[in-house]
Structure formats: structure tokens, C-alpha cells
Amino acid sequence: MPTDIEIARAARPRPITEVGVALGIPHGALIPYGADKAKIAGSFIQGLAREGKPQGALVLVTAMSPTPAGEGKTTTTVGLGDALNRIGKRAAICLREPSLGPCFGQKGGATGGGHSQVIPMEDINLHFTGDFHAITSAHNLLSAMVDNHLYWRRDPALDPRRIVWRRVLDMNDRSLRQIVASLGGNGAPAETGFDITVASEVMAILCLATDLADLQARLGRIIVGYGLDGKAVTCADLEADGAMAALLKDAFQPNLVQTLEGSPALIHGGPFANIAHGCNSVTATRTALALADYVVTEAGFGADLGAEKFFDIKCRQAGLTPAAAVIVATIRSLKMNGGVARGDLSRENLAALARGCENLGRHIANVRRFGVPVTVAINHFVSDSPAEIAEVETFVRRAGAEAILCRHWAEGGAGAETLARKVVELVESGKARFAPLYADDQPLWAKIGTVAREIYGAGAVTADKAVRSRLAQWTKAGFGGLPVCMAKTQYSFSTDPEALGAPSGHEVHIRDVRLSAGAGFVVAICGEIMTMPGLPRHPAAERIGLDGEGRIEGLF
């Protein structure tokens, strides 16, 4: 059986200019990065906004809680986009850019799989068009300017004990989580640390900003620390926002690539959904909605994380109205949630499958809380038995939805045509009544509790007095109307990654909170989740290299 990279290399992609023209983007509005990828010029995007074109239907692809067995959310997003085009709809796909951390860590690449991939997969998974490098540089420029501000004791006077701006790197490196900087007479030694680039507030700002002016304004609102007088000191106070915006000017333009079947795909931004808001950029999504009748996008990890943040943060801030949602599940992952060891997943086990379906059932109910009609895509594996497929179909039917068996990994868009028709049915039904989970004026602590109880099934939400006090201070300072971004393990509804299925009544402890004033949300860090991941015992990097012809091998 050919590998994903072999399938991708066998493709005969169209010139990227042809892909753009088919979507309604003229040659002059594309900035080519070689023959197979390009950026969409900002001037063209501004023109679309001025024209006020009718918007296409926005379809979210989310998933059950992820397991090492895999769910194939990106693969399904690509397959659905191809299938919509196959049945005569004008469809575009919107994805996030992969991070180097998981590419070289545990997950591998993130461009889909089999015959449902976006290409060129090697470029997209590695350096692509340099967006992540620009974000990393802009973030660390601000870090350098904070240190320089302290060194020269400039006004406003920063309290060195209350600096909250860390550094970032797009790589899993646990040794950098906590460090001591400025040793050797280069200033006052201070404890700081690194987050992964996808957790950077700069990443979130790039993904949520509506234009370059909004980008710089949001950068200026970043809080880097607090002064000796207790007042917040911002990026604009340090006069760093202009230079950061200059570094991000090109990165702010969405990237256009294509699927193996030639469907247009806008890939832009890449925040993780377990430690950030987990959605591609607002600019890419709005551009696609102005050009296509159907826009298929994804949000990271399970619906408790990515979908909740897509609805409560991205859609709220950008004024987007999703028309339908697809929850991706695999029988293998459902059985793992039912207690089956990874080595036994190929064996039929209806009892474990029934237990694992409780996880899927809660995700279905959660998506419905937002007033969005939903269907389930069963991402097919050859080990799935007819009885297991029937068990999932029956369970989903009893939950009030329909499960569609999909074979897009093996067959491309043809294997997802039934799913595409179901999505069209949901969209055309007009049943969507989208509304966020909580109101803007709900207190910050109440917003955190609402997500924990209604989405995670928690019985109690706790935090130290210092955490509650910070939330109160931010509310007093005018930030009480912001949404909350929960940073939590992706493997469970609880904060315990080992608690699979659909646990209820557990405690969610809020270990820390961070104010992302520029991005426009408050991050609540739950349990032991880390904003700088580490590498596994045997990272994917050990299997990646070059073959005798200098081609990359081992990448996903």
C-alpha cells in the first residue's frame, strides 16, 4: 500500500494560478511561491470586503475526543470539500498550517491522508511560506524590546517581577518551559520561559484580526507586564507594535494551495485547540466565504475544545454564522474510549464500542447546544466490521443525528459524496439557529464555569484565590466582556488525560489565567496542560530524513 507521501508525489497538480482563477481569484491577485502555492494579495481581499458579496455556507468539521488510534479530521475536511465539488457545488477548504512541534514530535504531518490530502504536503508541513517564522520573530522582537526597556530603565517603568510576556519557539522543547535569563551582567537576572509558537498571542491576533490596521491595533493592546504603579504596560507603550506589524505584513495574507483533486484550499494560521483557540484565520475564512458557495473548515481536536472555541471565540468576534457541523469518529477510537488497548483495536468488540459511543454522544449534544445541525462522519478503516458500523449508526440515530460511512481516505472525494449530500441537506434545511454558549456580559468566572459544566460535564470548578482575584481585577479594568479560551488536555472531557469516554461530575481546577488583551480573550489553564509541549520517547523526527535523491521521507 502506498504511503501518504507517495500518493501525494504521484499527483499531477494544476498550476496554482489555475486553481485561483477557478475560485475567482485573478492572476494578478496571487503572489506565487513557486508553481504550486501562493499568497492571496491583501488588496484583492479588501476589494472583496468592499463589494459585499453574498456569503457562502460555513461548515465546521470537528471530532470526537482524539486518541492515538486517530480520527482523521483533516482528511475528512479535505474529502468533504472534494466531494462537494464533485456533486456540483462550488466549495473551498480552510485549514490551519501545521506546527513543526507535532510534525517532529508524536503526531507527524497535518495535511490529510491517503487520497484526501492538500499538496504540496512536504512544504505545508515544514516551512511553507514562512508565516510561522514571521510570527515567531514578531513575538520575540517584543520580548527583546521588553528586556531592552528594562535595561535602559525607560518610562513607563516596568516592574521586573511582573513581566508576563514570554518567548516562543515552534518546536517541542520541554527544557525551555522555565529558564533564567540575563545572566552574565546583561541585565537583572529574571525567571521566564518559552511557549510553543502556536500558543503565542501573536498567532491568535494574526488569526482573529480583520485587516492590517486591526492587526496593529491588537498588537498594541498586548499586555507585556505591569509597572511599579501597578498599571498594565502594553506593546504600544513600548512602541513595538509598528515593527511587529511590519514583520507580519506578508504573513497576514492567506495561502492558497489545492487538494489532490484540485479543490482550492486556503491554509492560514495554526493555533492549537488545547492551549489556544484552534481555528484558521478569520481573513482566510471570510475570503473563502466571499468566493465559494460552501466553505469547509476545521477546528482542532475534539468538539469540546476546537468547536467550542470556534463558536464562542472565532464566530463571536468575526460575526460568522455556521450553517452545519460534521463530527468525525472512527470505530477504532470509539473502542479505545471504551477501554480497548491499541493492539486489540482490529478485533470486533461491540461491548467496548457501545461504551465508547458515550463520548461521541456527548459531542453531538454539545454541538447542538450552539444551535448548529450536525451529522457524524464514520471515517472507515478496513478492520471495521459490519456489526460495528451498524452499532454506531444505531447509536447516532438514537442521539437524533445520522451517521454516514465515509471512504475518502481510499477513494478521495468519491468516498465522501454521501456525506456531502447530507451536509447540503442540513444547510438547505435552514435549521441553524447559531448562538454562543454564554453571553458577553456574563462574569469571567461564570463563563469558565459554564464551559466546564455544560461542555465538559464537570461537577465542580475550582481555582486558588489568586486566580479569582486576577479575574476580578481584569473585570474592573474593562476586560470582563471577553470570551474565555480553555487550555485543557485534548484526550478527555476532564483534566485527566486517562479518563476516557464521557466522565461526569469531575472537578476542573483552573491552575492559572492569562489575559490576552490583543487577541481578545482570557486563557484559563486547566490541570497539568503545558503551553510548551515535550517530545515523546521516540519522536517522529527519528524517522524523517532524505532519500538517495534528496527527497524527504518519513514525514507522515
Query: Regarding the domain with residue range 444-526, which homologous superfamily does it belong to in the CATH classification?
Result: Formyltetrahydrofolate synthetase, domain 3 (3.10.410.10)
| 231 is a catalytic site residue | no
Q: Report residue 468: phi and psi, to 5°.
A: -65, -35
For residue 12, the model assigns a pLDDT of 85
Radius of gyration of the chain, Cα coordinates, nearest whole angstrom: 23
Residue 107 a catalytic site member: yes
Query: Which of the following is catalytic: 44, 272, 381, 395?
Result: 381
Considering only CA atoms, which of 4, 30, 449 is closest in space to residue 14?
30
Distance (Å, whole) CA 400 – CA 229: 57
Residue-by-residue DSSP string for 241-299: HHHHHHHHTTTTSPEEEEETT--EEEE-----TTTS--B--HHHHHHHHHH-SEEEEEB
Angle formed at CA 297 by CA 292 and CA 302, multiple of 5 degrees = 165
Question: Which residue in 158, 146, 160, 164 sits closest to 231, CA to CA?
Answer: 158
Integer Cα distance of 130 and 40 in angstroms: 14
Query: Any catalytic annotation for residue 73?
Result: yes
153 is catalytic: no
Domain coordinates of the chain in residue numbers? 4-130+251-429, 132-246, 444-526
Active-site annotation holds for 104: no
| Given the residues 75, 283, 489, 495, the one annotated as active site | 75
* Phi, psi of 127, deg, nearest 5: -85, -25
Q: What confidence tens digit (pLDDT) does each residue in 17-55 have?
A: 999 999 999 999 999 999 999 999 999 999 998 888 789
Distance in angstroms (rounded) separating the CA atoms of residues 67 and 69: 5
Question: CB neighbours (10 Å) of residue 66?
Answer: 21
The string of pLDDT tens digits covering residues 283-321 is 999 999 999 999 999 999 999 999 999 999 999 999 999
Q: Which three cell numbers stand for residue 478?
A: 474593562
Q: Kindly give the parts of the chain with pLDDT less than 70.
A: 107, 556
Tell me which of 9, 14, 90, 107 is the catalytic residue. Answer: 107
Question: In this structure, what C-alpha cell is assigned to residue 535?
Answer: 517530545
Q: How far is CA 224 from CA 55, 156, 158, 163, 248, in A?
A: 38, 12, 9, 6, 19
The class level of CATH for 132-246 reads alpha beta
Is residue 106 within 8 A of residue 540, CB to CB? The reply is: yes
CATH code matching the domain that covers 4-130+251-429, chosen among 3.90.1150.10, 3.40.50.300, 3.30.365.10, 3.40.50.1010: 3.40.50.300
**444-526 matches 132-246 in CATH topology:** no
Cell 479594568 locates to 477
Nearest to 181 by CA among 133, 143, 155: 143
* 152 flagged as catalytic: no
Give yes or no: 272 in active site: no
To the query of whether residue 96 is one of the catalytic residues in this protein, the response is: yes
